[in-house]
Structure 1
Amino acid sequence: MKKYLIYLLFLSSIAQAQQLAPLSVQKIMRDPKWMGVAPTNYRWSADSKTVFFSWNPENKEKDQSYKVSVASNKPEITEDNAAEKAAPINYIYSRDKALGLFEKGGDVYLYNFKSKKETRLTNTVDRENGAYFLYNNDVIYQRGDNLFQVNLQTSENKQLTNFIKGKRLASSERATTSTQDAWLKADQTALFDIIKKKNQTGGRAQVAGGRRFGAVDVNQKTIKPIYLEDKFLSGLVASPDGMYISYRLTAPITNNHNTIVPNYVTASGYTEDIPGRAKVGEFLNTSESFILNTEKDSVYSVKVAQILGIKDLPDYVKDYPKQLEERTKKNEDRKVTFGAPIWNENGTTAIITADAQDNKDFWILKLDAKTGSVSVLDRQRDEAWIGGPGVGRGINWIDNNRFYFQSEATGYSHLYTFNVANGEKKQLTSGNWEVQRLQLSKDKTTFYISGNKEHPGITHFYKLSVNGGDLVQITSMKGGNEVTLSPDEKWLAINYSYMDKPWELYIQPNKPGAKAVQITKSTSAEFDSYKWRQPDLVSFKNRYGDDVYARVYPAANPHPNKPAVVFVHGAGYLQNVHFWWSQYFREYMFNNMLADNGYTVIDIDYTASSGYGRNHRTGIYRHMGGKDLTDQVDGVKMLAEKYGVNPKNVGLYGGSYGGFITLMGLFNASETFRAGAALRSVTDWAHYNHGYTSNILNEPFNDPEAYKKSSPIYFADKLKGDLVMLHGMVDVNVHFQDIVRLSQRFIELGKDNWELAVYPVEDHGFVEPSSWTDEYKRIFKLFETTLKK
């Protein structure tokens, strides 16, 4: 009996140890393995009978390789390289599908599907890659900077291009003979009769039997060298008949001033510099695209000047009359970057894309390879910036006349086809939802689409005929459905999650209404012991009449002060209000903890968040901290009206873009926000990178007013509430310099209601649990000491 009681006490102690409640920062911010490790990296076998994936259900040091058969649905451990052994080979097929090309170990192989014979076409120490068929079944491949052609009938392997690094030396630049070389040459002539004879005949070889030994074969074709100088070669593509070879040359940037991030905690004991990025507005790479006519051995450029609208200026320059006058007077073609030509199967037509460097235009062009001339098939122009899911990517041919692409022409990213034979542009999907991922079936009769048609926060997998018609929904589970299609297109491996349930693997037949079977169960007993909230997913009208979606975590037992906290997601263009497991899982758990402690929490997909179409996406153009900030204020108003919070006791927190909004909220909406915690915040957009910032605010020297309206550092004098700033010192994304500059402004302004916590070993995304714990203990303390007073 005594032993039995001890055993019961032992079991009880285990059960108590696995109880997560009450939540605490220390529990939440441990190494995430405590929660359980979700499966990742799904790959199908070539026969479509097995799914391979990485998983760690036993919480070991690293993930292990697993497999599951569609026949058994039982996952089991497998060897690490099993997936690679069983993986389908990504063949590049001949027109009749009788032959396939693939790369293995840096060499090109040919496979005959009828004879089942594999032939090695190259065997060198160099890497040969990018192999494909011409329509006469000759094979093209690339080695280094050059293209080669293999005739499968004769096995002849010939070089098609002769790109040479560096530049051709002018006669004046060629090496001159030194005094020493001249002496050696004279000495050789004096010593040897054969040298004297060669000098007398001009160096010509002697003739024997009517043929000169060592003579060059007059029938051998020479290839004109093309010198790359200091430029980078890319986009090397041959037309299906091999006559035209297109390529792109990009000039290097030599005069940019790149940043440096000091690293203080190092093994050497010395401060070490981490080379960083350039800042917005620095010089950009410029490129030109060319066509080499192999028959005529001539080179000509793709004609930028022929692009419709190439000289159009963006609307914002009207706010700067002097700039408008100067740029109008110059009347220059805008800089563009061409993609590689995309040829239809029979080689009769090529399309090529062009992106304007100012990102206001994206063109799909018809290319005349004989001349380099182009004509516009489709133009997408956005006075903010071109974007949206799938826009500018994944363009390809359905047949010899039709290609497909995505466009935000209606305000949402949808699927279109274009017929080059008759000029017909056809929209295949429509409505206030987005085509988020797209895949054409192997037989080119069906599109497989991932989209949020049912709800902005729900993704499903659909199929649609390439000719249009009804969109057929295949998945049925409410939440996030990320699908990996089997090679035979009969099965779906679904990465599925819900608000309170992390990602798990499911398998389903590729049929509407078919049942998805759960394969993995990954969460730990400790994680499962807490009843995680399914937050209210609500929408409200902002002051501009737009629908804004939000997650609300109502307080379990509201504190008498009825406080509220606003969580602001990062990245700006990102979605966090949805029915699947949040990538901000730590913040999700922290929001549960806040709700347990009497706070009502709201998490808003503010203006510029993804998933809601073009107008929402670009709503912050030229004014970050405008509509994206007032959406937070309007969300607080909704909380006061519908959830009974006290609008005088509201705080906010967020990282990266969320940290930026937190600063703007404390500075420009101090009547709404009593306290805020800003993590790894952008404080001055003129010091952030070019790719992200220039789309939204243009460049500082072209649109300085946009930067002044959008940068917190210009509003530092308006700080009234309590502010805690937290930043990693080796942040190579939002540099530590950002927060240092703002701190200096506070010092000069005499502000004393702010604190700065620094993390010496952390980059933008924190790694160490101790850093996460310290950070969120400070955030929780801020809210406890300000919003509950």
Structure 2
Amino acid sequence: MKIQLIAVALSFSLAACSNTQLSEQLNTSAPDKVPSTVAVNAQASTIITLEQVMADPDWFGRAPESWYWGDDSNTVYYQQKQLGNPLRDLYALDLANSSKTSPVDLSIKHKVADKNAKFNQARTHKVYTFNGDVFVKTLASNTVKQLTFTSNTERKAFFLTNGDIAYQVANVFYRHNSQTGQIKELASLHMSDKPAGVTEPKSYLAKEQHKLIAYIALQQRNAQLKHAQKQRLAAENSAVTDSKFYFGKDNKVAYASLSPAGDKLLVSIALAKSSRDKSDIMPNYITKEGVIVAKKVRARVANNRQYKEQLFILDLVTGTQQALSYDSLPGFDEDVLASVKAENYARAGKKYKSEKKARNIHVLGMYNPIKWSEDGQHLAIMLEAWDNKTRWLTTVNFSDNTLVSQHKLHDDAWINWNFNEFGWLNADNNASLYYLSEESGYSHLYHKNLNAKAVKLTSGAFEVSSVTLTQDNQHFIFKANKKHPGIYEIYQVDMAKNLIALTDLGGKNDYVLSPDESKLLIEHSTVTMPPELYVQNINAVGTAKRITYTVSKQFLAMPWAAPTVVAIPSSKQKQPIYSKVYLPKNFDKTADKNRAVMFTHGAGYLQNSHLGWSGYFREYMFHSMLVQQGYVVIDMDYRASAGYGRDWRTAIYRHMGKVEVEDMRDGVNWLIENANVDAKRVGTYGGSYGGFLTLMSLFTDPDLFASGAAIRLVSDWAYYNHGYTANILNTPEDDAIAYERSSPIYFAEGLNKPLLINAPMVDDNVFFEDTVRLVQRLIELEKENFETAIYPVEPHGFVQPSSWLDEYRRIYKLFENTL
């Protein structure tokens, strides 16, 4: 089988990976002065230990966080964690003064902590909230004025089209007059029934009471007079206003968005009652009180109710509210689960009859799913069906208060939780939108006038995200993996579809455009180098300057392994399986076959065989330790991983754990053929979804691995949350077949190799219950080849270094004893 090597830049060379068969690496450019990675002496004698790898990560560096531009486009702000504690400090970096960096004093933090500020239309002022109060900055003089001094939490501050400032406190919306300082309540949203006023007696006894008792009749008359006077006052006196809107008891505001014109408000209302059951609790055994505390946690998908929202348009001028109907949306009443239900019915010996019925629809859960045009005359909303199969980008026709579908995206599997960005063009008289869609099989950028067909601006086998529109409406800047699935560069495209790469750094890059749109602030990392900040001029394509140096010398001196990203041929489909392969020194020259470990990343939809710094940095260092001791390590982006398009993502629909294990077998076979690995000496481990795949591989393909370690594992998907699980497996009520063939607990009898289970007990993501039920199942099956380690104070993502160390000592011991 011919080895397929991917073009990567890994200057962090190690002699352990110098074999010519696996060293064909193509260079990508790096900044002139400072390379993105630092070369290490291949003969370094430093020994990598578990104690060092699992120590508090402060030891190797505290990367810049929450970075953003200053107003002058020459200052960069970022947060950095303090050494040895969770507090963060804000720093200012002056590009015009040799990148001088200084901490921002707490006394002036309110003047610069404006990362999410909103401009006025002339871009002369900014408004933002800090510590729950509203601030306005005049850009020409760099002066800041505090508008509110309250114990309330003001939020979502922005400029209205007339220059006034609007903000929100809980469910109340205010307008601050910039000239007079007057504050007006625009709308107050009440989750109760509208007061009925003075009601007439209804029952026989009440009517008799009003007829016979003069005092009661007098009180009724006085109440009616007061109510009538209040109504006349509100109608005839402009100083009196009633901004209350009522949406019924037992409801809550899911979303609310005020028009920039200040005359309309979109409100989305949902039931307030939680879907969680009283049994949805998580016992915490280690508490400061010394007693067991039962914490309320999320609902399970098995008992999660169907979810819907009702949209309303509030006219703040007339004080009226109008419900918006979903009936105008194409496919609003389709039975999209008909074939799934028919299969499940047939298994039970019944026949399913498909009927059209209005689907439950809600605002799509994403950042800013409701967007007004700059002038406040147009409104766009991203909606999604509860069954996760359809997404609508809609606008509102205010002449008759109806929804108009601008774009419908349907997926027989599920709509992606990513790639739902959209927005209006700036001050566009033609009222046009841009949006991302996976309809071609990959996330791409589209432009659409409201009354015209959409135009696709990007195309190809790559994914577009993080879109920024320039002020002149001529260019879109975005992140994409066009060069290679694991390399993310920054690109620019214009309305004529002319595409250029702005960066050529290799690795993984995220960005923010400067206020004057002349520069990019970039967070850049590689496989062997944690994130640092770079700056690049827009017109200096491919040239970036590094401006932060937060990685420790101790980390740079360590002999970390440099994996090669390999495209492993798949035995099941055309697209290869991109994988990181770590090879020890002389891996192909030893007389004995090598032992190997396969790491399986979590979440399912993550990507870990990219060329940037991984969130699994401890695992990366652990792999380097294994390589130093002669192990081969492989880390695969199995099917369902992000970065490879829609078909790769949805390959697991209705059957999780099948195609991924097929890919894992292809990975093992590749190691046997290309890395001199002994087929009987391969182990596997992973956490969360990786723990689930460890179980599925050991249970359903028991000859594949010699041993496995499952961390914070999922054993039964019916116990996981709705948002994630129902996308992939529908719901247990509709699709029990999918849950049964995807849950390891149903296949536990297949275990015949050593299994280590590591389980945190205060995990509110994957409940400890998953481990408890699986262990009981294994006991009842009379299995003897498993062990369980519990971690009483750890959540889903371990925190304490002592827990990390204990966990990986056990994993390492498992591999040492079985491989």
TM-score, normalised relative to structure 1: 0.86
Q: Which moved more, 1:641-650 or 1:30-39?
A: 30-39
| Contact in 1 for aligned 2:361/2:385 (Cα 8 Å) | yes
What SS does structure 2 have at the residue aligned with 1:647?
strand
The residue that corresponds to 2:354 in the other structure is 328
1:271 maps to which of 285, 292, 296: 292
The residue that corresponds to 2:14 in the other structure is none
Distance change in 2, residues 1:272/1:174 (3 Å): farther
Instruction: Indicate yes or no: 2:249 matched with 1:227.
Output: no
| Contact in 2 for aligned 1:388/1:613 (Cα 8 Å) | no
2:496 maps to which of 449, 468, 483: 468
| Contact in 1 for aligned 2:172/2:188 (Cα 8 Å) | yes
2:53 maps to which of 14, 28, 37: 28
1:453 maps to which of 472, 478, 482: 482
The residue that corresponds to 1:288 in the other structure is 310
Q: Give identity over the alignment, percent.
A: 37
What is the distance in 2 between the residues matched to 1:261 and 1:213?
A: 52
| Contact in 1 for aligned 2:425/2:473 (Cα 8 Å) | no
Pairs within 5 Å for 1:432-451: 432-451=461-480
Distance change in 2, residues 1:173/1:264 (3 Å): farther
Instruction: Indicate yes or no: 2:556 matched with 1:528.
Output: yes
Report the alpha carbon displacement of residue 748 of structure 1 after superposing the two structures with TM: 0.7
The residue that corresponds to 2:398 in the other structure is 369
| Contact in 2 for aligned 1:49/1:69 (Cα 8 Å) | yes
The residue that corresponds to 1:6 in the other structure is none
| Contact in 2 for aligned 1:557/1:596 (Cα 8 Å) | no
What is the distance in 2 between the residues matched to 1:132 and 1:658?
A: 43
Pairs within 5 Å for 1:646-725: 646-725=678-757
Report the alpha carbon displacement of residue 554 of structure 1 after superposing the two structures with TM: 1.4
Distance change in 2, residues 1:779/1:381 (3 Å): same
- Equivalent AA in structure 1 for residue 246 of structure 2: Y
- Equivalent AA in structure 1 for residue 450 of structure 2: V
Report the alpha carbon displacement of residue 439 of structure 1 after superposing the two structures with TM: 1.2
For this pair of structures, how many residues does the alignment match? Answer: 746
- Equivalent AA in structure 2 for residue 253 of structure 1: K
What is the distance in 2 between the residues matched to 1:624 and 1:204?
A: 65
What is the distance in 2 between the residues matched to 1:173 and 1:697?
A: 54
Report the alpha carbon displacement of residue 101 of structure 1 after superposing the two structures with TM: 4.9
Pairs within 5 Å for 1:253-652: 253-254=273-274, 256-258=276-278, 259-281=280-302, 282-294=304-316, 297-314=319-336, 315-321=339-345, 328-329=354-355, 331-338=356-363, 342-387=371-416, 389-391=418-420, 393-398=421-426, 399-400=428-429, 401-421=431-451, 423-465=452-494, 467-513=495-541, 515-545=543-573, 546-558=575-587, 560-652=592-684
Report the alpha carbon displacement of residue 227 of structure 1 after superposing the two structures with TM: 2.5
What is the CA deviation profile of residues 314-344 of structure 1, one whole-angstrom value per residue up to 9, with x for unaligned ones?
A: 2423423579966634x32001013675333
What is the distance in 2 between the residues matched to 1:756 and 1:89?
A: 46
| Contact in 2 for aligned 1:355/1:361 (Cα 8 Å) | yes
The residue that corresponds to 1:11 in the other structure is none
- Equivalent AA in structure 2 for residue 42 of structure 1: W
What SS does structure 1 have at the residue aligned with 2:663?
helix
- Equivalent AA in structure 1 for residue 344 of structure 2: Y
Distance change in 2, residues 1:774/1:341 (3 Å): closer
The residue that corresponds to 2:190 in the other structure is 164
The residue that corresponds to 1:12 in the other structure is none
- Equivalent AA in structure 2 for residue 412 of structure 1: Y
- Equivalent AA in structure 2 for residue 302 of structure 1: L
Distance change in 2, residues 1:751/1:485 (3 Å): same
- Equivalent AA in structure 2 for residue 415 of structure 1: L
Q: Which moved more, 1:23-32 or 1:648-657?
A: 23-32
Distance change in 2, residues 1:409/1:749 (3 Å): same
Distance change in 2, residues 1:631/1:220 (3 Å): same
| Contact in 2 for aligned 1:539/1:550 (Cα 8 Å) | yes
| Contact in 2 for aligned 1:36/1:57 (Cα 8 Å) | no
Report the alpha carbon displacement of residue 110 of structure 1 after superposing the two structures with TM: 6.5
What SS does structure 1 have at the residue aligned with 2:783?
coil
The residue that corresponds to 1:44 in the other structure is 69
What is the distance in 1 between the residues matched to 2:312 and 2:681?
A: 63
What is the distance in 1 between the residues matched to 2:157 and 2:353?
A: 44
| Contact in 2 for aligned 1:388/1:614 (Cα 8 Å) | no
The residue that corresponds to 1:744 in the other structure is 776
| Contact in 2 for aligned 1:88/1:487 (Cα 8 Å) | no
What is the distance in 1 between the residues matched to 2:417 and 2:766?
A: 24
What is the distance in 2 between the residues matched to 1:240 and 1:33?
A: 44
Pairs within 5 Å for 1:99-114: 101-103=127-129
Q: Which moved more, 1:589-598 or 1:425-434?
A: 589-598
TM-score, normalised relative to structure 2: 0.83
The residue that corresponds to 1:193 in the other structure is none
The residue that corresponds to 2:9 in the other structure is none
| Contact in 1 for aligned 2:307/2:362 (Cα 8 Å) | no
Q: Which moved more, 1:569-578 or 1:102-111?
A: 102-111
What is the distance in 2 between the residues matched to 1:213 and 1:714?
A: 67
2:256 maps to which of 236, 240, 263: 236
What is the distance in 1 between the residues matched to 2:135 and 2:174?
A: 14
Considering only CA atoms, is the larger Rg found in Structure 1 or Structure 2?
Answer: 1
- Equivalent AA in structure 2 for residue 523 of structure 1: V
- Equivalent AA in structure 2 for residue 35 of structure 1: F
What is the CA deviation profile of residues 747-770 of structure 1, one whole-angstrom value per residue up to 9, with x for unaligned ones?
A: 111110111111111111111222
What is the CA deviation profile of residues 521-540 of structure 1, one whole-angstrom value per residue up to 9, with x for unaligned ones?
A: 33334333332121111002
| Contact in 1 for aligned 2:64/2:533 (Cα 8 Å) | yes
Which consecutive unaligned segments of at least 5 residues does structure 2 have?
Answer: 1-43, 204-208
Q: Which fold has the larger relative contact order, with Cα–Cα distance below 8 Å and residues 6 or more apart in sequence? A: 2
What is the CA deviation profile of residues 444-463 of structure 1, one whole-angstrom value per residue up to 9, with x for unaligned ones?
A: 33211111111111111122
1:252 maps to which of 254, 272, 275: 272
- Equivalent AA in structure 2 for residue 279 of structure 1: R
What SS does structure 1 have at the residue aligned with 2:594?
coil
The residue that corresponds to 1:76 in the other structure is 101
